[in-house]
C-alpha cells in the first residue's frame, strides 16, 4: 500500500482509548502496591514487595486463590459442556427454534448484580421460592438452607455462573455451527456416519477454534466476576466462598488496605496473562489468535 502511515492513523483512536482505560489504572495500581499507602490512597514510603509478602503470608488469600481456580474451571468448563450440545440443538431446524434461542439468551438481558439478587431471594431458606417449588413438586421434604454453608452455596454459585455464561458461549458456537456447510454432513451421511460420528468428525473439529475463543474470553470474564459471589454470600460464611475478587474488595473497601488490594489485583492480572499466553501457545498453535 502506498500510505504507510494510514493503518496507524486508523488504529490510533482505539489504541488511545483502550490504553487510557488500562494503562493509567495499572500504573496507579503498581504505585499503590509498592508503597505504604494510607487508608485513603495517599502514598507514603516505598515498600517494595511488602504488600505481596503480606498476601503470601495470609492463609485466606491462598485459599481464595485456589478457590478461584476451582470457580473459574468449573464455570468455564460447565458452560462449555452445556453450550456445545445446546448450540448443536439450536442449529437444527425445529418448530419454535427462534423462541428457544431467545430463551437461552435471556439471562444475558439482566445485569449480573440483579441476577444474583434474584437468586439470593429465591434461595432463602424459609421464604425462598426454590424451596417451596422443590417441596411442592415433592423433590424435597424439608427446606434446604442453600446459602448457610459453602457445601451448598458454592455449587449453587457455580451453577448460576454457568447459567449466565451460557448465552454468550452458545451464541459464539451457533455462529461457528452455521458456518459449516450442510453438504459436509450430507456427504458423511452417505458414507454411513451416524450423528455421533458426524459430531466427532465434522462438528467438533470445525468448532474447535470457537471453543478456544470461548475458553479464553470466558476465563478472563469469570475469573474477574464479582457480583454473583458478592451478592449471595459476600464470600462467607467464614470466607468459605471467597474468590480473589471478593477478597480484594474486602481488603480495599472494608478493611481499607489499599496496598494489599492492589497487590492482589496485580497478581490476578499476572495469572490471567500467564494463562492466556500458555493457552494460546498450546491450543491455538497454527491459528491466528
User: Which single residue is written with the C-alpha cell 492466556?
Assistant: 276
Q: Given the complex with another protein, which of 135 and 201 has the nearer CB atom?
A: 135
Residues 6+ apart with CB under 8 A from 224: 245, 268, 272
CB of 187 to another protein, least distance (A): 20
CB of 21 to another protein, least distance (A): 4
Per the structure block, which three cell numbers stand in for 7?
493503518
Candidates 47-55, 65-73, 113-121, 183-191: pick the segment binding another protein (CB under 8 A): 113-121
CB of 28 to another protein, least distance (A): 4
Please tell me whether residue 86 binds another protein under the rule CB under 8 A.
yes
Cα 27 from Cα 22, distance rounded (Å): 9
Residues 6+ apart with CB under 8 A from 270: none
Total of chain residues touching another protein, rule CB under 8 A:
126
CB of 186 to another protein, least distance (A): 15
CB of 3 to another protein, least distance (A): 9
> What is the pattern of x (binds another protein, CB under 8 A) and - over residues 123-162?
-xxxxxxxxxx--x------x-xxxxx---x-----x---
Candidates 49-57, 69-77, 183-191, 227-235: pick the segment binding another protein (CB under 8 A): 227-235
Long-range contacts made by residues 150-158, C-beta under 8 angstroms, separation at least 24? 150/237, 150/240, 150/241, 153/232, 153/233, 153/240, 153/241, 154/67, 154/71, 154/240, 154/241, 156/119, 156/123, 156/232, 157/71, 157/228, 157/229, 157/232, 157/233, 157/241, 158/71, 158/74, 158/75, 158/78
- For residues 256-285, which are near another protein according to CB under 8 A? 256, 258, 265, 268-269, 272-273, 276
- Per DSSP, helices labelled H in the chain are 6-33, 50-56, 59-91, 97-105, 112-122, 129-136, 150-178, 182-190, 195-198, 204-223, 227-233, 244-249, 258-283
Among 74, 79, 104, 158, binds another protein (CB under 8 A): 104
Please tell me whether residue 166 binds another protein under the rule CB under 8 A.
yes
Among 204, 238, 278, 281, binds another protein (CB under 8 A): 238
CB of 251 closer than 8 Å to CB of 260? yes
- For residues 22-81, which are near another protein according to CB under 8 A? 22-29, 38-42
> What is the pattern of x (binds another protein, CB under 8 A) and - over residues 173-212?
-xxxxxx-----------------------------xx--
Please tell me whether residue 92 binds another protein under the rule CB under 8 A.
yes
- Is 79 in a helix, a strand, or coil? helix
User: Which single residue is written with the C-alpha cell 427462534?
Assistant: 98
CB of 85 to another protein, least distance (A): 7
Amino acid at each position: 500500500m502506498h500510505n504507510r502511515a494510514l493503518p496507524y492513523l486508523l488504529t490510533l483512536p482505539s489504541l488511545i482509548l483502550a490504553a487510557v482505560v488500562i494503562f493509567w489504572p495499572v500504573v496507579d495500581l503498581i504505585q499503590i502496591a509498592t508503597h505504604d499507602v494510607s487508608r485513603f490512597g495517599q502514598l507514603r514510603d516505598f515498600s517494595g514487595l511488602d504488600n505481596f509478602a503480606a498476601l503470601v503470608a495470609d492463609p485466606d488469600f491462598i485459599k481464595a486463590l485456589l478457590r478461584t481456580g476451582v470457580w473459574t474451571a468449573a464455570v468455564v468448563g460447565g458452560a462449555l459442556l452445556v453450550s456445545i450440545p445446546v448450540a448443536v440443538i439450536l442449529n437444527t431446524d425445529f418448530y419454535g427454534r427462534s423462541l428457544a434461542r431467545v430463551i437461552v439468551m435471556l439471562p444475558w438481558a439482566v445485569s449480573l448484580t440483579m441476577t444474583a439478587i434474584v437468586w439470593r431471594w429465591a434461595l432463602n431458606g424459609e421464604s425462598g421460592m426454590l424451596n417451596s417449588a422443590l417441596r411442592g413438586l415433592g423433590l424435597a421434604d424439608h427446606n434446604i438452607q442453600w446459602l448457610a454453608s459453602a457445601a451448598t452455596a458454592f455449587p449453587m454459585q457455580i451453577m448460576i455462573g454457568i447459567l449466565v455464561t451460557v448465552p454468550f458461549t452458545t451464541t459464539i458456537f451457533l455462529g461457528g455451527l452455521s458456518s459449516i456447510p450442510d453438504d459436509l454432513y450430507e456427504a458423511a451421511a452417505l458414507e454411513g456416519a451416524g450423528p455421533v460420528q458426524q459430531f466427532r468428525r465434522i462438528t467438533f473439529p470445525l468448532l474447535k477454534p470457537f471453543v478456544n475463543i470461548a475458553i479464553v474470553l470466558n476465563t478472563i470474564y469469570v475469573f474477574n466476576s464479582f457480583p454473583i459471589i458478592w451478592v449471595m454470600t459476600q464470600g462467607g460464611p467464614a470466607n468459605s466462598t471467597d474468590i480473589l475478587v471478593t477478597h480484594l474488595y474486602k481488603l480495599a473497601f472494608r478493611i481499607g488496605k489499599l496496598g494489599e488490594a492492589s497487590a492482589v489485583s496485580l497478581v490476578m492480572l499476572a495469572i490471567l496473562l500467564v494463562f492466556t499466553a500458555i493457552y494460546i501457545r498450546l491450543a491455538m498453535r497454527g491459528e491466528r489468535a
